[in-house]
Amino acid sequence: MRITGGRLVRRPLAAPRGDATRPTTDRTREALFSALGHRLDLNGARVADLFAGSGALGLEALSRGAAHATFVERHGPTLAVARANAASLGVERDCAFVRADVLVWLARAGGERFDVVFADPPYALDAIPALPDLVQPLLAPGGALVLEHDARHAFRDAAWTRTWGRTVVSLFDADAAGDAVGD
């Protein structure tokens, strides 16, 4: 794995050991950020990377101009990989690392707002259809949720949806409801 664009392009990223995570492939991440570049301005943005895994999405955003990234991951050793990746890229001072179950964290989070929230949950997570509504209170005006999921989920209120392989990405603008269909 590597950073695919921005000031840290081609810098390597470590992946957590085992099969507990499903890192977004370099090709998918590059296509995703290319598509987002036409909709979102990451310059100076505050981003959150939920179900962070290696931290690749938040670190990619930092490489492409985001000012700060908060990484939320429940598995301590996996969060340690995200922290080590940030340190190896020299951006750890621009990051916050939260060890927590994302759904619990979302229910308790208050005050802080994000310009972009990335969520790459396990595809088997039952709460995927609820994530757009759960994230809405964290979005700054003009903010967006970028949700990775598989084809079992379709969202009526997504601003757009793109598919790369078996990865489907839906983008939700602030104040859009996450009305899922076809679960």
Return the exposure string of 125-161: e unless at least 16 CB atoms fall within 10 Å of the residue's CB, then b.
eeebbebbbbbbebbeeebbbbbbbeeebbbebbeee
pLDDT tens digit sequence for 30-48: 988 988 888 888 999 999 9
* Cross-strand pairs, 161: 170
Which residue type sits at 182? G
The reported pLDDT for the residue numbered 14 is 93
pLDDT under 70: residue ranges of the chain = 18-22, 176-183
Which residue type sits at 16? P
Domains and CATH numbers, the chain: 27-176 (3.40.50.150)
pLDDT tens digit sequence for 79-105: 999 999 999 999 999 999 999 999 999
H or E segment to which residue 30 belongs: helix 26-37
> Among candidates 168, 107, 175, 165, which has minimal Cα distance to 140?
175
The reported pLDDT for the residue numbered 28 is 86
The reported pLDDT for the residue numbered 181 is 45
Tell me how far apart the alpha carbons of residues 158 and 148 are, in angstroms, rounded to a whole number.
12
The reported pLDDT for the residue numbered 178 is 47
Tokens of 81: 């990989």
The reported pLDDT for the residue numbered 177 is 47
Helices (H) and strands (E) in the chain, counts: 5, 9
Q: Helices 56-63 and 76-89 sit at what angle, rounded to 10 degrees?
A: 20
Which residue type sits at 129? P
